[in-house]
Amino acid sequence: MINCLLAGVGGQGIVLASKLIAYAAMSKGLIVRTAETIGMAQRGGCVMSHVRMGEALHSPMISLKSAHIVIGFEPAEAVRCLSYLREGGTVIVSRKAIKPVTDSLSNTDYDGDEMLKYLGSHVNSLIIVDTEAVFAECGSEKVLNIALLGAAVASCGLGVSLKDMEKTIAEKLPQDFIEMNLKALRAGAKTVLKESIG
Amino acid sequence: MKIELLMGNQAIAMGAIRAGVGVVTGYPGTPSTEILETIAKNNPGHIYVEWSVNEKVALEVAAGAAYAGMRTMVTMKQVGLNVASDPLMSLAYIGVKGGMVIVVADDPGPISSQTEQDTRHFGIYAKLPVFDPSSPEEAYLMIGDAFEYSEKYNTPVIFRPTTRVCHGYAAVNLDENSYEVKLEGFIKDPKWAIFPRLSYQNHLTIEARLPVIAEDFSLYRFNSVVGSGTKGLATGGINYAYTCETLLALEAECKIFKVATPHPFPEELAMKFLEGLEEVLVVEELDPVIEKELVYICGKHHLSVKIKGKLTQHLQNAGENTVESVTQAVATFLKIPVSPAKQLEDLPVLPVRPPVLCAGCPHRASFYAVKQAMKGQKAVFSGDIGCYTLGNAKPLEMVDTCLCMGAGITIAQGLHRAESATVNVAFIGDSTFFHSGIPGVINAVYNESDIVMIVLDNSTTAMTGHQPHPGTGKTMMGTISEKISIGKVLLALGVKHVITRDPFKLDQSIIAVQEAAAYKGVSAVIFQSPCIALVEPAQVHSVDADKCTGCKICIRELGCPAMIKDHDKVRIDHSLCYGCSICEQVCPFKAIGGAYR
């Protein structure tokens, strides 16, 4: 059984990423359950998507300390759901911080570095994705979700191969977006930075 | 058979299509919205689907079709049933001919609702059968069963999933065959007109029928008693999944009673469960419904089984259960030692991310215009339900009250009766206006109130994911009907001062609000500008770093998520900016403009 938790900010394409993981796992004959936050919590707020794959699954939600892999679409959001990570689990995180409006309003200065440092000192298996480099390579900022998916696949934590995911993307996404997303998937897989900070 | 990854709500819809549903009505509301949308998207052609103006109307339209023998379904969220409660209570007495399923999605938490009410209790109150699915795949089959029971007993039935079933995804085996309804049509009969005498007789019938249905439910396929021992767990809905997960994690076994039909309670099956037990822990969310039924049965049959649950403080009374909270409760109950999950140490301070109005949202401009117009005057702002409830947040702080759908206009009237020197401003969205705003307007005009209505018309039901409504002219059958003009409705209702403005023209908007506030009597300003999700972004804006003094007035006044504090200046995130231009209008140094620099 593999539990994968995706966390970020509303609008980052987390739901699509979690669906693609589920589809890829289903095509391998696994039982899949997922759960996501929809509704008021979505607008600019924290969004979490739970993906569970394997056998004998009942709850669509991942329990604390039992995620094999956490995909953080934003540094602070990865830290926020770190309590879900199981011992020895992997964290994939996008380097780019998203400042909340409340941060601009108050006099705090959140930039994500402190979060990445915390992850570096608390997670043994940490992969930081250089978001800006992926954006530059793909020429779009809308591909973050697929790039992170690429990194997650490359980390071998999902139990799905890059080929499986490419096939799923080709099957499930609208024709016009397939090429760009395949590019993002590969870019994500490629730019996996195995550095750890701190 | 075809296997598909479906959201619980999609599974409910596909199950209803399979069951031969012919008319589906509803009003959007999280977590129920996707059910009706999925029906419309997968309409084989013969199903009539509509977003009705509100839940009461939806339930009545569906009831009419069910009188004629059609299988009908109504969808809404739990608070929607409050609106539909009038027809619901009477319909329970009248009954139906075609199967009628009222899908009411409950929202433990609550995650996006005003209350944590439990629709199972509504079922008990209305004396209607209630179905409670525990997973998307079960919901797919159970909705078909619900139609059958409805026809078997000529009664509407309630189907109540909760958020985690509605929005959870699972692989569902889709049956390609579907049930075909042979429509008999409406047959005139005195039984369709409710009168006190008929109500009395039907009340007797209902009371006599409930134990029969309860007996039937004891044999129902999704109700079950498994396992053995002297300790038992009783549960239902998503909590059944949490309970199974818990027992796996604890490597424990005990007797389990799964309740898929909480009303009328399957007493015979419950007796089978209680037999030989010393104590029971009831694992459920919202109200202690199963728990009270078990306490009642134990009392009735003089059973000395200890029933533990919410009433005995063994489970929380409010909020959502989780696998963790259930594991804690079950472990304590079974006397299995578990160490609570260790808290992470020295966690850095995490940025808070409250939901905010989107960058470019016209509501921000409208709120800002009203705020500016009311500066220096004593004013109270009554809000309503929709995206614009988020206008309560800093820095706008323009929602002083919010109660329920349509209550902004009426609360403002009440406040004004108490303090007539205050300017009472009521905000209402376009969909909410049609839903339940209109009677409040009529009341204000008729009773000579003095309030300012601000209609935030963004041409959609935005909060729930952009459903059409009477003002948009688009229907769920894909046709274009005549758009109902809010302005003309207001004039027809006798509102004499009605002005329509584009909220992004700040100066004009502020003047319009000032004029409306100065008007004695009921006045209205309609701020018309489509939701950003419906339009292409205009030219994105940028800050000229040379002109920006870093005063941050733009950020402090507007709270737009695209505006970012960047060292001692302000920067605009081009991936979020919709070019609405209010920051340009607010900047005292003309440092913001509509082009890349």
Of B254, B238, B287, B23, which is closest to residue B138 (Cα–Cα)?
A: B238
Question: Over the stretch B291-306, which tens digit does the pLDDT of each residue have?
Answer: 999 999 999 999 999 9
Residue whose C-alpha is closest to residue B485's, from B470, B496, B474, B475: B470
Tell me, yes or no, whether B488 lies in a domain: yes
Identify the CATH number of the domain in which residue B231 sits. Answer: 3.40.50.920
Chain B residues with CB inside 8 Å of A33's CB?
Answer: 168-170
Query: Residue A198 domain-assigned?
Result: no
Q: Which residues contact B302 (CB under 8 A, 6 or more apart)?
A: none
DSSP strand pairing (B224-226 vs B157-159): unpaired
| CA-based nearest residue in chain B for residue A117 | B348
- Nearest-CA neighbor of A77 among A150, A183, A148, A161? A148
Whether the CA torsion B13, B14, B17, B21 is positive or negative: it is negative
Q: B261 and B192, same structural domain?
A: no
> Are B87 and B166 within one domain?
yes
Domain co-membership, B155 together with B253: no
Residues B129 and B258 in one domain: no
Give the closest of B168, B343, B555 to A60, CB-based.
B168
Q: For residue B424, what is the enclosing H or E element?
A: strand B423-429
Task: List pLDDT tens digits, range B58-85.
Answer: 999 999 999 999 999 999 999 999 999 9
Residue B348: inside a domain: no
**Residue A155 located in a structural domain:** yes
Q: What is the pLDDT of residue A107?
A: 67
Same domain, B27 and B125: yes
Total domains in the fold of chain B: 4
Question: Which residues of chain A neighbour B561 with C-beta distances below 8 Å?
Answer: 44, 100-101
Same domain, B199 and B231: no
How many Å lie between the alpha carbon of B391 and the closest alpha carbon of chain A?
Answer: 13
pLDDT at A74: 96
Whether residue B381 is contained in a domain is answered as: yes
CATH number of the domain that B154 lies in?
Answer: 3.40.50.970
- List the domain range (segments joined by +) for residue B548: 542-593
Judge if B248 and B312 occupy the same domain. yes
* B566 beta partners: B569
Identify from A31, A40, A122 which residue to disrupt to test chain B contact, counting B C-beta atoms within 10 A and taking the largest count. A40
Of B314, B334, B354, the residue that ends a domain is B334
Please give, one letter per residue, the 3-state secondary structure of B536-564.
CCCCCCEECCCCCCCCCHHHHHHCCCCEE
Residue B536 lies in a domain: no
Closest in A31, A38, A83 to B167, CB measured: A38
In angstroms, the CA B374 to CA B389 distance is: 19
Same domain for B328 and B403: no
CATH number at residue B548: 3.30.70.20
Residue B250 has pLDDT above 90, yes or no: yes
Cβ contact, residue pair B245, A40, below 8 Å: no
**Are B450 and B391 in the same domain?**
yes
| Domain shared by B207 and B228, yes or no | no
User: Do residue B353 and residue A46 have CB atoms under 8 angstroms apart?
Assistant: yes
Separation CA B143–CA B153 (nearest Å): 16
- Is residue A129 one of the residues assigned to a domain? yes
Last residue of a domain, one of B201, B217, B233: B217
pLDDT tens by residue, B420-440: 999 999 999 999 999 999 999
Please state, rounded to an integer, the average pLDDT across all residues of chain B. 96
Burial of A107 (0-12, 13-18, 19+ CB in 10 A): exposed
Sign of CA dihedral A52, A56, A58, A63: negative
Interchain proximity B5–A22, CB inside 8 Å: yes
- Whether residues B208 and B236 share a domain: the answer is no
Could you say which of B155, B189, B217 is where a domain stops? B217
Of B390, B420, B375, B425, give the one whose Cα is nearest residue B527. B425
CA distance A189 to chain B (A): 24
**Per-residue pLDDT tens digits for A85-103:** 999 999 999 999 988 877 7
The answer to the question of residue B114 being in a domain is yes
Tell me how far apart the alpha carbons of residues B248 and A56 are, in angstroms, rounded to a whole number.
Answer: 9
State the CATH number of the domain containing residue A18.
Answer: 3.40.920.10
Relative to beta strand A85-94, strand A67-72 is: parallel
Q: Do A83 and B561 touch (CB under 8 A)?
A: no
How many domains does the structure of chain A reveal?
1
User: Is B457 within a domain?
Assistant: yes
Scanning the structure block, which residue is given the tokens 């003002």? Answer: B471
Residue B537 belongs to some domain of the structure:
no
User: Taking the CA of residue A195 as centre, how many other CA atoms within 13 Å lie in the half-sphere pointing to its CB?
Assistant: 10
Question: pLDDT for B372-431, tens place per residue?
Answer: 999 999 999 999 999 999 999 889 999 999 999 999 999 999 999 999 999 999 999 999
Q: Are residues B82 and B205 in the same domain?
A: yes
pLDDT, average across residues B172-192? 94
Residue A47 maps to a domain: yes
CB A90 within 8 A of CB A69: yes
Return the pLDDT at A38: 59
- Its ipTM equals 0.91
Q: Which residues pair with B77 in a beta bridge?
A: B105
Using a CB-CB distance cutoff of 8 angstroms, which residues of chain A are in contact with residue B553? none
Cα distance from B209 to chain A (closest Cα, Å)? Answer: 35
